[in-house]
Amino acid sequence: MIDELKYLYRVAERQKAAYTGRRETAYTIFHNANAMKLSFVGMKNERGQLVFAWQDTVQVKAFKRDLYAVDLICLAILMKNNKAVEINEEMSGWESLVEKLPQYLPGCQKFEEWFSLVAYPAFKPNITTIYPASLAIASLLRS
């Protein structure tokens, strides 16, 4: 009986997700001067989040993913603990984040400075470091 209820619940959750138009995991970027939070809700309405402080950021790389018909602009953010998070232009909150990133990470290139380097030529990754890789440089910029 319990397994049947769980199954029915999962079916109802999938139907609710399909009804609301969500066909894949939806990501939202929240940010302020101290930290960034990446929240997600999946097809089964499972939820999660990743939060990290800007002071833990070591490097930011902008690049493109080839999705065959189109390209997807992405940022890979590397932390001091060697973990990384990838965000992209399809995520809610992207525009405001890329606008504010140079304020949050002094020394980070502005969107206007790196976008063309990453966007062109099409269908190539065009990996571009937009925030210093050196911990020494990063710590000097923060002091």
What's the confidence (pLDDT) of residue 10?
66
What's the confidence (pLDDT) of residue 135?
47
Q: Which residues lie across from 129 on neighbouring strands?
A: 61
pLDDT(62) > 70: yes
DSSP of 101-118: HHHHSTTPPPHHHHHHHH
What's the confidence (pLDDT) of residue 42?
85
DSSP of 4-70: HHHHHHHHHHHHHHHHTT--S-EEEEEE-SSEEEEEEE-TT--EEEEEEEGGGEEEEEEEEEE-SSS
Min mean pLDDT across 4-13, 49-58, 90-99 is at: 4-13
Output 143 or 91, whichever has higher pLDDT.
Answer: 91
Q: What is the mean pLDDT of residues 10-36?
A: 77
Min mean pLDDT across 22-26, 58-62, 114-118 is at: 22-26
| Alpha-carbon torsion, ordered 15, 20, 24, 25, to 10 deg | -110
Q: Contact 107/59 with Cβ under 8 angstroms? A: no
What's the confidence (pLDDT) of residue 122?
86
Q: What is the mean pLDDT of residues 13-31?
A: 73
pLDDT(69) > 80: yes
**DSSP 8-state class, residue 139:** H
Q: Shortest CA distance to 80 belongs to which of 29, 132, 129, 128?
A: 132
Q: What's the structural domain count of the chain?
A: 1
> Domain range for residue 60?
2-142
What are 11's two structure tokens?
């079916």
What are 63's two structure tokens?
């690049």
What are 62's two structure tokens?
């902008």
Where does the pLDDT of residue 81 fall: very low under 50, low under 70, confident under 90, or very high at 90 and above? very high
